[in-house]
Structures are given as C-alpha cells and as structure tokens.
Structure 1
C-alpha cells in the first residue's frame, strides 16, 4: 500500500475528468485519477476503481486500494465483496485487508456471506467479521461455530471470536472444545484471550475430556490467563502426567504464582514440585529452562538443586546461550552457598568453574568471598583473573590482608592490577603507598596505569610529590607520568615544571605537558604563549593536540597560529585548523583558505569547502562557485551542498 494519496495535481479535476482518466491506458494517468478521486471522496468512481483490481499493474492496484479505503462507505463494501472470489490470491488478500478496515460501514452485507455456499467465502467473511466489535456479529459467529459443516470455517470463527473478546461467546467456545482438534486449538486460544473466570472454568472442565495434545494446549492457555483458580488442578497433573504435559503444568504454575509464592505450597507439595523442576532441567527448550530456573531461585535450597543446575551449565553453549548462562548464575546466587557450589571449583569443565566463580563473587555476605580466596592459589590463570576482579569489587576491609599478600607476591599482572585498585582506589590505604609506588616503574603498561590510578586516588601530598619527582627520570614514560600528575593535581601550581617539560626530548612528554597546560589552566597570556609555542613543535601529534585545545578555548591571540597551521606539513593538522577557523567563523582567513585550494589533496579540499560553508560571505561563495565545475565529482557535490548551505543561512537571516 502506498501513502501518496495526496499526490499533487496541477489543478483540481472534475468528476467527469476523473472517470475518463480512470479508463485511460496510461498507468500514470490512472494512478493520478485514483488519488484525485480519493482526495475528493468521489463515490461515483467506486465501480470503476473496484473494476481496476483486475489490472495487471501493481501500481494501479495500490492506487485503487488507497482510494477505496479513503472513500469507503456501504457501496464500497458491496463492490469489494465480489473481489473476494477473484482467482488472483494477491487481489483477494488486498480485498480482505480493505474489508477488515471498512466492513463496519455495511455489517449486514458481510454477515450475509457467512451463509454463502462457498466455504472459502465463509472463511473470508468470518475472518473479516473478527475485526468488527458488534453484538450482531458475535451472535452470527457463535451460530456458525456450532452449525457450519466445514471444519476450516469453524476454526476461523473461533479465531475471530478470540479477536472480538466478547464474554457472550464463551458458551459457544465451550461447545467447540468438543469439536475436531483443529477447532479445539482455536477455541482454547480464544478463551485464553477472553481471560474471564468462566473461560478458566471451561478450560479446567475440558482437561478430562480431550486428548493429551489438547490437554497440553489448555495448560499453556491457563498459564497465559494467570488465574490462581487453576493451580490446584495443575498441581494434580504433575503426578498424573509425565513428559511434555508435566513440563507445561510446571511452567504454568510458576507463571501463575510467581517464583516467590511457590513457598506457600505445602511441604510435601513443595518437595515434589522441586523434584519435578530438577527433572525439567534436562529439557532442551530454553524458554522452559528459564521459567524453571525462576522457580528454583526461591525454593531450590537443597544442594541437589545446585548440583542439577551446575549439570545444566555443562550442556549449554556459553557463546550463544548468554541469557540462559546469566539466568543460571542468578539462580545459583539466589540459592546461596552450599557444598555442591564449592565442589564446582575443582571441576575439569571450564564453564562450570566460571559459573561457580561468578556465583560466589556475587553472593551477599562473606561465604562466597571465602570460597574464592580458599581456592585462589590452585586456580588457572584465567580463573584467577576472573576471581580477583570479582573480589576487588565485592570485598571489604576484612579482605585487605588477602590483597596485600597478592600485591607483594603475585607475578600475574591482572592480579596485581586488581590488588592495586582495591587497596588504593577502594580502600585508600595511604600507609600502603610505598608498596604501590614501586609498581609505577613496572614495564607492564597495565600495572603502571593501575599503580598510578591507585596512588592518585589516595589524595596524599607526599605520594604526589614522589610521583612528580619522576620528572627528571631517564625513562620517558615515567617523565610523562609525572607531567600528567602535575596537570591532574594542579596545573597552576606546577606551571613552571610543565613549561620546562615543553622542551623535553620525548614528544609524548611534550604532548602531555601541553594538554596539562591547555586543559588545566584558565585563559591567560602565559597559557597563550605556551599554546603558540607548541604549534611550532616538530612532532605533528603535539601540534594536532594543541589545535584540539584551541578548538575549545579560542581567542584572538591564537588566530595567527591557526593561520600558520594552514601551511603545516601534515594534512591532519591543516584540516583540524580549518575546522576550528570554520567553527568560530574567522572570516579574515577566507583569502588564505582560498589560496590553499589549487595545491591541496582531495581530503583537504573537502575540509576547505566545509570551512567556507561555515564562514560564508561573498568571497567564500565565489570560490565555491568555481569548484562546482571541478572534474572531481566529490568536490562538485561538496561545493554544491556548501553553496546551498550559505544561501539557506542568508534566507533564514532575511526572515
């Protein structure tokens, strides 16, 4: 279906012109006439429009569909009804779709079709009537459900009654449960949608009269309805049936009561229910497993439950069944610590150990952390890394000795990093600063970073001075660390040291120094001088970083340096400078920018065009005009867009 029913026309067509155009051999003319008929609500065009459903042009059929929907009315319904008999399935489907929307304009004509000799027409009619909320429709459909000789019609009637959801049809649906299975399914689905007490009673009564397959469907429907009234019968079915029906009953009870209310069952019932849930963990269906795990999360305190869940963990694919894996872990957390959970730590299955580690790492209280610490030294490197990160998040002051021990004795980078962050960031143990500082000299970048984070988190003056003392160290990475710390703590206080670092022989130190000055100092003449000085640095990364600072802290003293950057040896520096000049609309640089065009690479030219568009003005527009005829299509397109941007902005100013 299209949405262009308001297709513009040069002038309004008369009724006669529309009817003549609809008879044209030109599909475009016919489409335009159909849209115009829709716009005018022209009922006299309906017979011609409906006849056009026989067209071989989908474009015409779509336009006709739009027109008939918009004009609608009794005549439209009566004219469309015969199209239901069209041999073309696509045309039939379109006519049904239209009638679902407009059939309420002539309900009686649709009702008459329920008694048609052709069962297919009766199916179509009962389908369409399901979209009409009308008492007479309900009555007719109920009669059809009871008396129509064709099973497929009765099936469709039941589905339509489910769409209407009128409690008056419950009795007819009750009778349909004695019909053929195909109809039974639809009737059960309809009762589930109606969801009232009477529906529940009917479904419960039917449990002893239908086949096992239909029992399964009814139980699923009762779970969807969610009435507590059905729980006693469902509990009976746990012992009466096994296999799929028992699984369905389990799921339905958990859905109805909710996991937390399962504890309200009697002791014997609860024990049996738990056993059935354990058995259900052998199922493969992921949805079933998710529901059963929800039930076990509140009643599965027996270690046998933990064991069964861990066995489930062995069978899943952790790379695909991520949601199920998380549900397993969350369920085990709810159950809590027991010997089966601890036994999982020595499993030869990597996923089982991971489940045990993540479960214990998330348990409330000390038990989980004690298990992790108890098994830590025997773990594989991967398990250690996973455990230490969980411990670092969830531990408290009682775990400090454990972390100190591993800070002093571990050789594994991730363990050392977790210990540093726990002791420094979380616990802020200033007394351990000497132990942390020694890791600043680590060759491992992750350990170095974690040590710096931990030391700075202490907010200790002596520690800061020890870090900044590395400004004269032979190692460039340590000098860079000292410079970073100066900027992080107080760039104004350390300004002289930062200025000195601007002459460091290592470019990364100089870059860190200008960033500390640029982002750590308020605007001042001294700061401007340092930024201007940095723009002359031999390293392009230093210059590029400096332009980035200028983009956020622009002032008139910096403009000459940005202009100089337009002739930089590095194109990225040029483009960043152009970006800043455009952002602040520095119109005095337009001539210089224009002079760059002939000798620039395509990427720089595109940035020049973008900059000229931002600055605007006569000179910029003339330069862009010259680029529209460029032999490079990308340059042409960019110049055209830029010119449109300038003219649009001028138009907005005039308004």
Structure 2
C-alpha cells in the first residue's frame, strides 16, 4: 500500500498497526456522520495503541451509539485503553449519556468502578445515588473517594448523614477530606460534629478543608474550634480558619487574629487583616495601624482597607 497516496479511510484498513494508529490521529474532528463510523470499528482493533487513539479521538461526541461503545472500553484488557476511556467518559456533559455507564458502577473491579463513578459524577443523575452510597463502604479507598464525589455533585439530603460519617471516620485521609468538602452543600447543624472533628484531624489537609467548609457554611457554633485552629502547626490551616472567622464576624476571635498580624507567614497576616476588617471592631485599630509598617505591601494594603472598614462601621 502506497501510504502517501491513500485516503485516511484506506489507511485505517492497513495491516500495519502503526499505519492504522497514525490514521486515527490524522482524522479531523468533525461531523459525527463522517468521523464516528470510521472510529467505532477501531475500538475493536487488535492493537491496543490503535484502540487507545480511537477512544481519545471520540472525545466530545455524546451520541448514544458513541457512549454505548465507549463504556465497555473500561473493561479493555489494556490499561492504557481503560485509562483513555475513563478520561474521555469523564468529559461527558449530558445527563442522557449516563445510562450506558450505570452497569459499570457495581459488579466490576475497583479500577472499573472508580472510572465509572468518576465519569458519571458531573452528570448528576439520581440513578447513581444508590450505587454511590453502597460504594462508600467499599474496601478500596479510591472507590470511596469517587463515590463521595458523586454524592457531593448530587447534593441529595439523604446522603448527608453517610457523608458526615465518612468525613469523621474513614481510614483514608483523602476520603475524609473530600467528604468534608462534599457536606459543604448542607446548612444542617447536624454536620457540625463531623466538621469540628475535621479541625482536629491528624491530616493537615483535612483540617484545612474543615476550616474552609465551616466558613462557607457560616456555622457560628464552630467559632471556638476555629479560634483553636488559629494555633495550628500548619499555616495553611490558620489561613482558612482566619478566613472563616472573618466571614462569621467572630468578635471572640479578635485576640487570635490580632496576634496573627505578626505571624512569620505573610499569607496568615493578610487573612488576619481581612478578617479584622470584616469584623470591624475598633479594638483592632492599634494592631492594624502597626501593620501599616509591615514588610509585605499586600499586608499594608489590607490593613489600610481594614481600618477604613472599621471607620465606616462606626459611622
């Protein structure tokens, strides 16, 4: 076969796997009526590299026949093909595309269930709720992480209790962190114990997520715990705690925030200044005036803004 004089379609039928692979890559992205019929047969190509490129080339096509053909590629014998299928399926945008993925949420290997859960997450289909809830008890932490993600996207009140339990007790720190973020869609006070427990977690990243979520939820009952978090060994946690205390306008946090204006880490000083401006208590004025001489120009700027906010609040 004279490759240079062959059409892409002819090259796709070559006996040489490398010729077929390059032909798949050369296919332009275009009308599915023209491109998809050429790509779908290559999903069954005997060569894994050709199948991988065919999967990748189908990204962006959400026609039912395409999604139905891609979903079984999660079971391919080749790891690269499975990874490519998972990546392409995770880019789906239409909820109608979820149906072919549902059978892969249960009864398969941990890897397949992880990929299927990740792909279905952003589609927000109620049918994924029950499999995701079941997956919270899976022995594989990766599966549990993806299940938490699905439930976080679904935002169903029925999942709050289970997510709070995972946030508080899962053996994997990353699962706990993601679960804490996931319960951020609930304003129920019932999530408070899980979040305050998160502030004392052994993982600083979990503590960081807990402080951020508490600020987002404006849970005033957590103010004492957030004040304690201002003494965390990790400055990243102190930053999120200061931000939360500012959002909560926590007057009780004034001493901790004023003390943080002299912290060695500039980001902590900045957040402390912002929080003091939000609280707008005149007792912070001397410390903020002193911070006008800070070596960091952002700290000086934010301290000026905080002083202005206090002045305006007094009028």
TM-score, normalised to structure 1, is: 0.39
- Paired with 2:199 and 2:241, the residues of 1 have a C-alpha distance of 11
**Residue from 265, 280, 295 that aligns with 1:634:** 295
Aligned equivalent of 2:246: 582
What secondary structure does 1:549 align onto? helix
> Does residue 163 of structure 2 align to residue 498 of structure 1?
yes
What secondary structure does 1:494 align onto? helix
> Does residue 141 of structure 2 align to residue 473 of structure 1?
no
Is the contact made by 1:388 and 1:415 (CA closer than 8 Å) also made in structure 2?
yes
> Does residue 36 of structure 2 align to residue 369 of structure 1?
yes
**Residue from 354, 357, 360 that aligns with 2:27:** 357
- Paired with 2:313 and 2:221, the residues of 1 have a C-alpha distance of 30
| Offset, 1:616 | 4.0
Query: In structure 2, do the counterparts of structure 1 residues 634 and 354 end up closer, same or farther at CA, with 3 Å as the change threshold?
Result: farther
- Paired with 1:627 and 1:375, the residues of 2 have a C-alpha distance of 65
Is the contact made by 2:132 and 2:147 (CA closer than 8 Å) also made in structure 1?
yes
Query: In structure 2, do the counterparts of structure 1 residues 426 and 587 end up closer, same or farther at CA, with 3 Å as the change threshold?
Result: same
Give unmatched runs, 5+ long, in structure 2: none
Query: In structure 2, do the counterparts of structure 1 residues 642 and 619 end up closer, same or farther at CA, with 3 Å as the change threshold?
Result: farther
Query: In structure 2, do the counterparts of structure 1 residues 459 and 605 end up closer, same or farther at CA, with 3 Å as the change threshold?
Result: closer
> Does residue 106 of structure 2 align to residue 437 of structure 1?
yes
| Offset, 1:438 | 4.2
1:529-568 equivalence runs, <5 A: 529-568=193-232
| Offset, 1:357 | 1.7
1:499-538 equivalence runs, <5 A: 499-501=164-166, 502-519=168-185, 521-524=186-189, 526-538=190-202
Backbone CA RMSD of aligned residues = 4.1
- Paired with 2:73 and 2:292, the residues of 1 have a C-alpha distance of 67
- Paired with 1:560 and 1:570, the residues of 2 have a C-alpha distance of 18
Structure number with larger C-alpha Rg: 1
**Residue from 387, 390, 404 that aligns with 2:54:** 387
| Offset, 1:417 | 2.5
Is the contact made by 2:117 and 2:147 (CA closer than 8 Å) also made in structure 1?
no
Q: How many residues get paired?
A: 302
Is the contact made by 1:483 and 1:516 (CA closer than 8 Å) also made in structure 2?
yes
What are the Cα deviations for residues 121-177 of structure 1, in whole angstroms up to 9, with x where unaligned?
Answer: xxxxxxxxxxxxxxxxxxxxxxxxxxxxxxxxxxxxxxxxxxxxxxxxxxxxxxxxx
**Residue from 335, 339, 342 that aligns with 2:9:** 342
Is the contact made by 1:609 and 1:639 (CA closer than 8 Å) also made in structure 2?
yes
What secondary structure does 1:560 align onto? helix
| Offset, 1:363 | 3.5
> Does residue 86 of structure 2 align to residue 417 of structure 1?
yes
Aligned equivalent of 1:314: none
Is the contact made by 1:581 and 1:611 (CA closer than 8 Å) also made in structure 2?
yes
1:156-175 equivalence runs, <5 A: none
Query: In structure 2, do the counterparts of structure 1 residues 566 and 483 end up closer, same or farther at CA, with 3 Å as the change threshold?
Result: same
Q: Which has the higher contact order (CA 8 A, sep 6+)?
A: 2
- Paired with 1:641 and 1:458, the residues of 2 have a C-alpha distance of 43
- Paired with 1:474 and 1:554, the residues of 2 have a C-alpha distance of 34
Is the contact made by 2:132 and 2:151 (CA closer than 8 Å) also made in structure 1?
no
| Offset, 1:398 | 4.9
Aligned equivalent of 1:572: 236
- Paired with 1:427 and 1:350, the residues of 2 have a C-alpha distance of 28
- Paired with 1:542 and 1:572, the residues of 2 have a C-alpha distance of 11
| Offset, 1:441 | 0.4
**Residue from 264, 268, 275 that aligns with 1:601:** 264
Query: In structure 2, do the counterparts of structure 1 residues 538 and 491 end up closer, same or farther at CA, with 3 Å as the change threshold?
Result: farther
Is the contact made by 2:192 and 2:222 (CA closer than 8 Å) also made in structure 1?
yes
Is the contact made by 2:273 and 2:299 (CA closer than 8 Å) also made in structure 1?
yes
- Paired with 1:620 and 1:585, the residues of 2 have a C-alpha distance of 13
Is the contact made by 2:74 and 2:115 (CA closer than 8 Å) also made in structure 1?
no
What are the Cα deviations for residues 482-505 of structure 1, in whole angstroms up to 9, with x where unaligned?
Answer: 444444445532344334321222
Query: In structure 2, do the counterparts of structure 1 residues 419 and 410 end up closer, same or farther at CA, with 3 Å as the change threshold?
Result: farther
- Paired with 1:410 and 1:467, the residues of 2 have a C-alpha distance of 25
Query: In structure 2, do the counterparts of structure 1 residues 369 and 472 end up closer, same or farther at CA, with 3 Å as the change threshold?
Result: closer
What secondary structure does 1:634 align onto? coil
What are the Cα deviations for residues 534-586 of structure 1, in whole angstroms up to 9, with x where unaligned?
Answer: 22222221111111112222143222222121122221111211122234443
| Offset, 1:451 | 0.7
